[in-house]
Amino acid sequence: VIQRVLEIVPLEFFDRELLYALATEASRVFSLRCQVGVERYLPAGALDTERGQYHATRILSNLKDFDRDSFRLLGVTAVDIFTPIMRYVFGEAMLPGRAALVSTYRLAIASPQSGQPGYRSVFISRVIKEGIHELGHTFGLTHCDNPNCAMSASLDVTRIDAKSTQLCYYCTVMLKDGLNL
């Protein structure tokens, strides 16, 4: 029996504590074995020198061809990412598809608790929520109207802080359909 593995791919990202916390929670939410892979370089050409940001779609396009044995791939990076239509994004994913990406850049600097005690746990929690959110898209889940659900739209950090790492009942049912694909 081939076990379906969800791989967390650090892209020039070295915060192992955060990666393992993300892997643990993702494994629980998606009921899949989850592992943290080796660090990799961001793809050449992903940096848009005019905007001074990294092109999320290009990173994703490169990421999807990594480890072919993995069922899903979640890239984690600390650089600021964008799509052509957005000034920035917290993450990006194929809807549906193999690969998703989350950036910690805006989740860290936009925090009102930055530098204050407890900030670290808020930051890790945001990255986990965004990681699960983007992975949810790879299973075909769209944005959810339930503000507590991890699949509710992540328009700003306030809304990310307000939601949980969990999927609501409706999204859980849809996820089961996605996992059976």
Told to check if 139 binds another protein by CB under 8 A, we report: no
Enumerate the active-site residues: 134
Told to check if 84 binds another protein by CB under 8 A, we report: yes
Measured CA to CA, the distance from residue 171 to residue 143 in angstroms comes to 9
What is the residue type of 127? Answer: V
Kindly tell me which residue out of 75, 137, 163, 175 binds another protein, with binding defined by CB under 8 A. 137
Binding to another protein (CB under 8 A) within 2-21 occurs at: none
Told to check if 52 binds another protein by CB under 8 A, we report: no
Q: In angstroms, what is the minimal distance from the CB of 86 to another protein?
A: 5
Told to check if 83 binds another protein by CB under 8 A, we report: yes
Q: In angstroms, what is the minimal distance from the CB of 90 to another protein?
A: 8
Told to check if 162 binds another protein by CB under 8 A, we report: no
Kindly tell me which residue out of 24, 31, 142, 148 binds another protein, with binding defined by CB under 8 A. 142
Told to check if 88 binds another protein by CB under 8 A, we report: yes
Told to check if 145 binds another protein by CB under 8 A, we report: yes
Residues that bind another protein (CB under 8 A): 57, 82-90, 95, 137, 142-143, 145, 153-156
